[in-house]
A and B are shown apart, each in its own frame.
Chain A
Amino acid sequence: MEERRLLLRDIEIPDIDTLPVYERRGGYAGAAAAFGPLKSDEIIAAVAAAGLRGRGGSWAPVADRWLAAAGHPDRQRFLAINAGETDPGLFRDRKLAERLPHRLLEGTIIAARAMGAQVAYICQRPELRRGWQALERALAEAYEAGWLGRDVRGTGVRVDVYLHPCGGACIGGEETALLASLEGRRAEPRAPDGRPPPHLLFGHPAVVHNAGTVAYLPLILADGGAAFRACGTELYRGTCVFCVSGHVRRPGLYEVELGAGTLRDLVEGLAGGVREGRHLKAVLPGGYAAPPLAPEQLDVALTPEAWALPGGGRFPGVFLNGGIIAMDDTACMVDAAVHLMRFYAAESCGQCPPCREGSLWLLRLLERLEAGAGQPGDVDLVADLARQVSPYLDLAGGTSLCGFGTAFAWVLQGFTRLFREEFDHHLQAGGCPVPKDDAIKVPDSVNIRF
């Protein structure tokens, strides 16, 4: 399996984050098409034909969402781009912002044009300063060049883009929480209420896209979708950018064609597999949000159909968010679960008791298990409490208000299923039997190849 760069094309070109270099490499050709010969319904048709799907975990056809918005009687519309990537194990959107801010911006402009949004918000974490500043500079350049403003390229169409500092809370990336935060309210998800989309922002229809979705649009508009359509499978076209980290020799961003290989090809091939003298123990295929896989379970094709749930619904695994964390035999699974639950307990928005209380309760149980103070029945209790929050791989049950609770519930149930002996052993041994390697440092994304 080889890398195939569409989204990340030119990422290593020096100064690609500036407008002149970006334009010389073909940048804004897509936007030129969107604001030149093509009308918005033609843009939507082109994107539909290319088969672009949301890369933020939905994998829903992008064109369908634009059609729903474009068909809405309300002429005032909003676009929000979620670039505030906060899931552990993910570092794609921040790289996009740091190194290819114009691609992100160009994609945003095209999406706004297609769905008829006059205003777009790029929600970004201000504490990721390189990316923030790169986007600020790119915005200024784009306005100066006439790609943004009241009258883009003399077409009379208005597109204004604002950089919105989101609070950095993980749950703030959830669609309704993002919209709430834009409105100045607490970044808390709205409980699903059976109402059909679109969601509203300030009372008007809004579409939320992941940064990694709109960044494909410049290429698709520039060449009519040929390069995009040439990659991938029948149902899932194009490429996907995976973030591989953890105990691998070559952590980093890897963009591959959908269906080009398996998860094993990615972890042990492109990312180089585990370090000398160690063996792979577990892989978290979807950051902190998907249940772990055993080393024998990595021969799954890198295409969403191979990962769908038996009852239909969201794809767990790599296609949830593209973050892959590998753990070798120096990692303790209970310890990993503790780290995971520390994240969830800290990031819970706090609205619903299953997540607010459940995450804390589970954290305390796991902490005492790891510390050797576990009580008989603790492991069963962990599994049962998690099941109460959200039964394993069952989207139609559970008590959690949103997918956050479902995420930690499934991951913990995955851990206790796959590594039950290790959990039990902690109880029997009165402590952690795994010799952890404290020398290894979590690689910072800055040290990744580019």
Chain B
Amino acid sequence: MVRLVIDGEEAEVPEGTPVILAALGQGVFIPHLCYHPALSAPASCRLCVARVEVGGQSQLTTTCNRAVQEGMVVETRGREVREARAAALEFILARHPLECPVCERSGECELQDYARQYGRDRGRGGPPRYLPERQELGSRLALDHGRCIRCTRCVRFVQEIGGVASLAVLGRGASTRIGLAGPESLDHPLSGNLLDLCPAGALVDPGEEPGPPPWHLRGIDTVCPGCASGCAARADVGEGRLRRLKPRYCAGQPPWLCDEGRFGWQHVHHPDRLEEPGLRGQGGLDPAPWPEALGRASAIMAAARGGSAAVVTEGWSTVEEVYLVAHLARQWRAAICLRPRLAPEGEQVFADGFSIAADRSPNSRGTAEVCQLVGVEMISPDVMWAAIGGGRLRRLFWLGGDPARVLGPRELTGLGRLDALVVQDILPSALTEVAEVVLPGAAFAEKAGHFVDRHGRAASLPAAVSPPARAQHDWQILSELAAAGGWAPEELPPSPEAALGRLCALPRPGGGTPLLQGLQPDPPTATRAAGSDAYGGGWSALLQRRGFLRVGGRR
């Protein structure tokens, strides 16, 4: 450990800690643009300067690229540092276009924030400002060369985390610019993180739908459902709709989202969302009222001879919902088949350990552990489709939720052999084409409950938005099916929280990996919907939560 003094207060930090992070740990914020804790530190923006005294030498110098030293004295207050920050910002802004009123990043822009907090309140002229020049780098990424401050965070992220040298610094001196290193566009599964990393409004998403500005969005802590990695995320909601998914800084996880997760929530407000229950009639699916549809579904599954029914779950149901499903399966004397979507390319691992799981469902592990705890038989997809092909399995209850599900030929054939299929899902698909009963359910952003990722970490989902008007929450559907199937009302868990309580109280089998260890009956308030401001993503969002960056001018 190293002892030093920061703004008059003593601090003790591990050796190797950059001064800027040591200061942050003391609650002393040092503004920075080119620095990012997950990347190398070029110390080129010059904004993080402070007066540093060590070994008898005293200098105004950068704090991001030097490690703490024993006896170091750091001073960030005072006129000298204030003027140096104003000077650094003045140079950074010299040719930056004055576009805040029309810039996509306005309101959640580090440069804007720092200019307001630490910069001069008037310009002193300067060379001619950059003209707008937008270059497409990838399908969801464009670079505005005029707004770019050449901090090189994007170049370094793609190289150091992404592992490819796709972006480069081109030119020199005043004609320096960022660009593609070669003829190919940027096609990388982590490219969306550049939208959060860029501290100015240079990197933008040309595919973003127009919507409320960030200061009119509510940022709700959640988890990305795109795969079993369980990356901490924040759902930004405006006017009752999900607008974007941003990475949330969480200890022990790199603060990124992969592009599939970041951009893969469009299904939530898709116009084709299933809204009404449907019953198979002559011409197709006829709309039916809920009681009738639920009654029919329950009758179909209850009437199956012992062992001829199964419940398929895709891994998109919460542990609370799976608790009900497990009891339903018991009632129907059915086995449960966990059938998550597996990416053909397998797991993808990146330089800092961030990985995209091959399992593209958010709650495979949670599902399996609940079933094991409750004591329900589980069968693999292979076994199930073989049983269907052999005529032994005749009725299926399919618990959907995966917006990108793909059914293979064997599965389609199998579905055709069934006596009856009941589908609880969110979008029309090949399943709803052949289903007897269709029950419209809730998407991940509409559920309240928990997922358990492949590492065993439990994440709380707060219902961020409401499902379509006549759809129902999955919890509701499953409760009513359970009641219809004979579960006594006084024994039915009255709420997801109650189900969670019962799950946590179940005796754990001895030995082996502890099950659902991350779950607690009363989740701490911090994981509940925070209703916080929606500022950027990852690191900048964390700085905003700590009060160092401000959304649209508000504190």
Contact = CB atoms under 8 A, between A and B. Distances in A.
B218 interface: no
A364 B172 contact: no
Contact of A194 (B45, B66, B90): B66
A194 B54 contact: yes
Contacts of A169: 172
Contacts of B173: 345-350, 356, 359
Contacts of A356: 91, 150, 173-174, 176
B43 A353 contact: no
A398 interface: yes
B88 A354 contact: yes
B69 interface: yes
Contacts of A401: 43-44, 46
B171 interface: yes
A396 B60 contact: yes
A360 B83 CA distance: 21
A348 B174 contact: yes
If over half of A's interface residues share one DSSP class (helix, strand or loop), that class is named, otherwise mixed; here it is loop
A358 interface: yes
Contacts of B43: 191, 193, 401
A192 B80 CA distance: 20
Interface string B73-112: 0000000100110011011101100000000000000000
Contacts of B126: 357, 361
A193 B67 CA distance: 8
A267 B129 CA distance: 44
Contact of A357 (B66, B69, B91): B91
Q: Which of A345, A359, A401 has the most CB of B within 10 A?
A: A401
Contacts of A20: none
A204 B532 CA distance: 49
A188 to B, nearest CB: 9
Contacts of A354: 46, 87-88, 91
Nearest to A381: B124
A150 interface: no
B61 interface: yes
A351 interface: yes
A364 B128 CA distance: 10
For chain A, which range describes its interface: under 10, 10 to 19, 20 to 34, or 35 or more residues? 35 or more
A319 B175 CA distance: 32
Contacts of B90: 388
A399 interface: yes
Nearest to B169: A186
B127 interface: yes
A397 interface: yes
B520 to A, nearest CB: 44
B266 interface: no
Contacts of B42: 191, 351
Contacts of A358: 91, 94
B202 interface: no
B511 interface: no
A389 to B, nearest CB: 8
A352 interface: yes
> Which of the listed residues A192, A345, A353, A359 has the most CB atoms from chain B within 10 Å of its own CB?
A353
Contact of A397 (B60, B92, B95): B60
B174 A352 contact: no
Given A345-B174, A358-B91, A364-B127, A353 B169 contact: no
B62 interface: yes
Contacts of B252: none
Nearest to A348: B173
Nearest to B88: A399
B161 to A, nearest CB: 19
Which one of A195, A352, A375 has the greatest number of beta carbons of chain B within 10 Å?
Answer: A352
B125 A381 contact: yes
B59 interface: yes
B443 interface: no
Contacts of A381: 124-125
A352 B42 CA distance: 10
Given A191-B43, A350-B176, A351-B42, A360 B87 contact: no
Contacts of A193: 43, 65-66
Interface string B137-168: 00000000000011000000000000000000
Interface in A314-354: 345-354
Nearest to B92: A353
A398 B62 CA distance: 11
Interface in A352-410: 352-354, 356-361, 364-365, 375, 381, 388-389, 395-401
A399 B44 contact: no
B174 A360 contact: yes
Contacts of A395: 59
Interface in B18-74: 42-46, 49, 54, 57-62, 65-67, 69
Give 4 closest A-B pairs by Cβ, nearest first.
A191-B43, A350-B176, A353-B91, A388-B87
Given A186-B169, A352-B46, 20 more contacts: A193-B65, A194-B54, A195-B66, A349-B173, A350-B172, A350-B174, A353-B149, A354-B87, A356-B91, A356-B173, A356-B176, A358-B91, A360-B127, A364-B127, A381-B124, A396-B57, A396-B59, A397-B60, A399-B88, A401-B44
Interface of B: 42-46, 49, 54, 57-62, 65-67, 69, 80, 83-84, 87-88, 90-92, 94-95, 124-127, 149-150, 169, 171-176
14 contacts: A194-B66, A352-B45, A353-B46, A353-B94, A356-B173, A360-B127, A361-B91, A365-B125, A381-B124, A389-B87, A396-B59, A396-B60, A399-B88, A400-B46
